[in-house]
């Protein structure tokens, strides 16, 4: 005969909820200690599952994009950008051009940072 805990684990496996499966007991202890309502307990579990799924989705999309991990804004010198490009950088980072199905065209001399800039924008949009 299957006990409640085994049945919970089996159901969470079949529903593909690994984060809840790993953390429901710990969160239940916290819920008991802090006198949470059933809704608060459920919300905490669902928030954990959603957060992990979003992190995994971002990681998977970055991997699939094959963007070089080193080409981000953290190591990009924005001072090298022409003023016209620097003024439009926030528009590019917020991704509003995606909703309008617009392309980004980058022109410049070799070694001017076009690829790095476009990769950094891709990284920023992934998050």
Q: What is the pLDDT of residue 82?
A: 84
Tokens for 32? Answer: 């008991």
Q: Integer distance in angstroms from the first to the last C-alpha of the chain? A: 46
> Which of 24, 30, 28, 29 shows the shortest CA–CA distance to 12?
24
Asked whether the whole model's pTM tops 0.85, one would answer no
pLDDT reading at 15 higher than 90:
yes
Q: Within 13 Å of residue 83, how many CA atoms lie on the same side as its CB? A: 0
Query: 68-91 pLDDT, tens per residue?
Result: 999 999 999 888 888 888 888 888
Query: 46-55 pLDDT, tens per residue?
Result: 999 999 999 9
Tokens 């994009």 correspond to what residue? 65
């Amino acid at each position: 005969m299957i006990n409640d805990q085994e049945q919970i684990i089996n159901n969470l496996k079949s529903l593909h909820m690994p984060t809840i499966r790993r953390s429901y007991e710990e969160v239940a202890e916290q819920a008991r200690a802090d006198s949470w309502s059933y809704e608060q307990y459920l919300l905490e579990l669902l928030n954990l599952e959603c957060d992990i799924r979003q992190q995994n989705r971002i990681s998977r999309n970055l991997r699939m994009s094959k963007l070089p991990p080193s080409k981000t804004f953290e190591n990009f010198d924005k001072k090298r950008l022409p003023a016209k490009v620097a003024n439009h950088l926030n528009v590019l980072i917020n991704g509003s051009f995606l909703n309008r199905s617009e392309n980004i065209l980058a022109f410049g001399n070799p070694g001017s940072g076009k690829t790095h800039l476009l990769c950094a924008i891709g990284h920023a949009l992934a998050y």
